[in-house]
Structure 1
Amino acid sequence: MVSSNYRGFVYLLHPTPELWTLVLPHRTQILYIADISFITAQLGLKPGVKMIESGTGSGSFSHSIARTIAPTGTLYSFEYHEERAKMAEREFKEHGYGDIIKMHHRDVCKEGFQLHDLVDAVFLDLPAPWDAIASAKQAFKQDRTGKICCFSPCIEQVARSVTALEQHGFVEITMYECLIKEHIVTPLQKFDFSAALQDARERKEKGLPPSDSFGVKRRLARDERTVTPQEIEEAANLMLVSKTIGETRGHTSYLTFATFLPFTTAS
């Protein structure tokens, strides 16, 4: 559309969870796309899934979950901070997710989720996720396997969460750390080593001193004006390579996944 001052154009972007993650008001630290996509895949989220999320925080992950499990899935989102819970619920309704996300104001570490035999997956972003694991176990559908993920910034929290998961019978416990590494594609000169070796042999046979490895400097020193593009191409071919920056950015948290097994009795 034309800008208000008629000097240019404004490009309207269709709203997506990815865009919302970049511009949302930060009430808490949030999850970004690198973690969100990985968690979504590991928890097996798809349309129709019923899932628990605690805590809601700024709602970054909530929007991505809602889009993934729509139109028939349900996200039960829990936030202990009353004002944050109200603000998140208002945003969910404004963005069209009011029917998919069921917002709850509750301290699940003390009061539990109060859900039973209902959900397929659980995501815990809490200071003490181990206090909510027992209640999460009750919330899983008891006749099928389910997936749980704990998002923790400290390895000590991971250790306590793993202990609690083991005590409550969860299996396939695995921890991941997502790190972002930027790759830059740059051109690199790939030298013709065979030509260099042939040049070295010929100079040795003639009793001449060794030249530079590829003969390019020798030709340039002799007469810059006689070096043609064809000569340079013959000496070196252009090749694209991927280079990483010197420092890899660290991340804020560890992701601990585990599998809930349904209770079975011997026949």
Structure 2
Amino acid sequence: MRNMIPTDPSQILSLQTRIQDGDLVVVYERHDQMKPIKVTEGAVLQNRFGVFKHSDWIGKPFGCKVFSNKKGFVYLLAPTPELWTLVLSHRTQILYIADISFLIMYLEIVPGCLVLESGTGSGSLTTSLARAVAPMGHVYTFDFHEQRAASAREDFEKTGVNSLITVGVRDIQGEGFPDEFVGKADSAFLDLPQPWLAIPSVGKMLKPDGVLCSFSPCIEQVQRSCENLRTNFTDIRTFEVLLRTYEIKEVISESSQGDENVSFKSPPCKKRQHSTEKSSAINASATTTVMAKPCAETRGHTGYLTFARRNCFS
């Protein structure tokens, strides 16, 4: 993702569009089968669609379709924060797009903001925070686990956002945020087992009217956090973001002697070829239409997002 998030204000709308040797790309087979690959001259990718040469990718635009030796194909996508959230290595439980987009809006994060985060975890949210504060802002993220912090630094370098993120090793629950940030943070995010222990520190770090968000999987954590927030915070609100996905299918209706039979036809999962052949003709009396129905594996509860605004008079 080299230069995908420019740090020069004059280049904020200029994005790299061509794949170069050493770039990170997201190889897309289908919506639920993607993986990150570092483009390396001389290397190959082998999957069910054949053998793909990395050398054939260099110079092509992000989003292009590339073909294997067997004429199968995949798409090469830029590792945006949204896609990175779907393909990154899970060192911890991560936040997904629905929660991320919601909290960035409610934290009122804009370019130039200084954001504090604890803990870093797998870095799913951190990458999106970096893009939101670019090009002049910065994200300071902390994790008590040294190896997780080191792995996060490596990932941020891969995706090209390392200049916007500083990763620190620190027990925020026990020590609080460093004093160098007192009164300087525009917003703060907590993903901790006992967030109420860090709330007094966050109150000192935030500017007047700054916003805090705490993510908790259990309502008991939310209740205790809210009790501690009342001292220095106002406008305390908790949300649960639920996402429902729909599956689009082609419905085939066949009429025979006045009887109508209806069946669902899913998209083909067979190996794709360069020239896609049409399936055999449907009976002349058959009709097709497109229908939508909720996916059987809809993601349910992930956690609660509690927001609070630092009291200007505290």
Matching residue within 172, 175, 178 for 2:241: 178
Whether the 8 Å CA contact 1:3–1:10 is kept in 2: the answer is no
In the TM superposition, structure 1's runs of 4+ consecutive aligned residues that sit over 3 Å from their partners are 183-188, 238-249
Amino acid paired to 1:138: K
What residue is the counterpart of 1:3 in the other structure? 52
Matching residue within 64, 68, 88 for 2:132: 68
Whether the 8 Å CA contact 2:246–2:295 is kept in 1: the answer is yes
Q: Pairwise mapping of residues 74-153 of structure 1 onto structure 2 (< 5 A)?
A: 74-114=138-178, 115-142=181-208, 145-153=209-217
Whether the 8 Å CA contact 2:207–2:310 is kept in 1: the answer is no
What CA distance in whole angstroms lies between the structure 2 residues aligned with 1:90 and 1:239?
48
Whether the 8 Å CA contact 1:76–1:104 is kept in 2: the answer is yes
Shift of 1:92: 1.5
Does the C-alpha gap of structure 1 residues 97 and 185 become closer, same or farther in structure 2, counting only changes over 3 Å? closer
Q: 1:160 aligned to 2:224?
A: yes
Shift of 1:139: 0.5
Partner SS for 1:68: helix
Matching residue within 296, 305, 308 for 1:258: 308
Amino acid paired to 2:117: E
Amino acid paired to 2:142: F
Matching residue within 38, 42, 67 for 2:102: 38
Aligned pair count reads 221
What residue is the counterpart of 1:13 in the other structure? 77
Partner SS for 1:71: coil
Partner SS for 2:162: coil
The C-alpha deviation readout for 1:152-192, integer Å capped at 9, x for no partner, is 011100000000101x221111111111223456899xxxx
Whether the 8 Å CA contact 2:203–2:232 is kept in 1: the answer is no
What CA distance in whole angstroms lies between the structure 1 residues aligned with 2:213 and 2:161?
23
What residue is the counterpart of 1:27 in the other structure? 91
Does the C-alpha gap of structure 1 residues 99 and 184 become closer, same or farther in structure 2, counting only changes over 3 Å? closer
Amino acid paired to 1:133: I
Shift of 1:40: 0.8
- Tell me whether 78-87 or 254-263 shows the greater mean CA deviation: 254-263
The C-alpha deviation readout for 1:36-89, integer Å capped at 9, x for no partner, is 011111111111111111000000001011011111111010101111011112
Q: Percent identity?
A: 48
What CA distance in whole angstroms lies between the structure 2 residues aligned with 1:75 and 1:29?
20
Does the C-alpha gap of structure 1 residues 59 and 187 become closer, same or farther in structure 2, counting only changes over 3 Å? closer
Whether the 8 Å CA contact 1:179–1:248 is kept in 2: the answer is no
Structure with larger Rg: 1
Quick check: which one's strand share is greater? Answer: 2
RMSD: 3.0
Question: What TM-score do the two structures reach when normalised by structure 2?
Answer: 0.63
Shift of 1:90: 2.2
Shift of 1:110: 0.8
What CA distance in whole angstroms lies between the structure 2 residues aligned with 1:244 and 1:11?
26
Amino acid paired to 2:118: S
Does the C-alpha gap of structure 1 residues 246 and 88 become closer, same or farther in structure 2, counting only changes over 3 Å? closer
What CA distance in whole angstroms lies between the structure 1 residues aligned with 2:129 and 2:220?
28
Question: What TM-score do the two structures reach when normalised by structure 1?
Answer: 0.73
Does the C-alpha gap of structure 1 residues 240 and 157 become closer, same or farther in structure 2, counting only changes over 3 Å? same
What CA distance in whole angstroms lies between the structure 2 residues aligned with 1:160 and 1:20?
33
Whether the 8 Å CA contact 1:51–1:122 is kept in 2: the answer is yes
What CA distance in whole angstroms lies between the structure 2 residues aligned with 1:98 and 1:249?
31
What CA distance in whole angstroms lies between the structure 1 residues aligned with 2:150 and 2:202?
23
What CA distance in whole angstroms lies between the structure 2 residues aligned with 1:247 and 1:89?
33
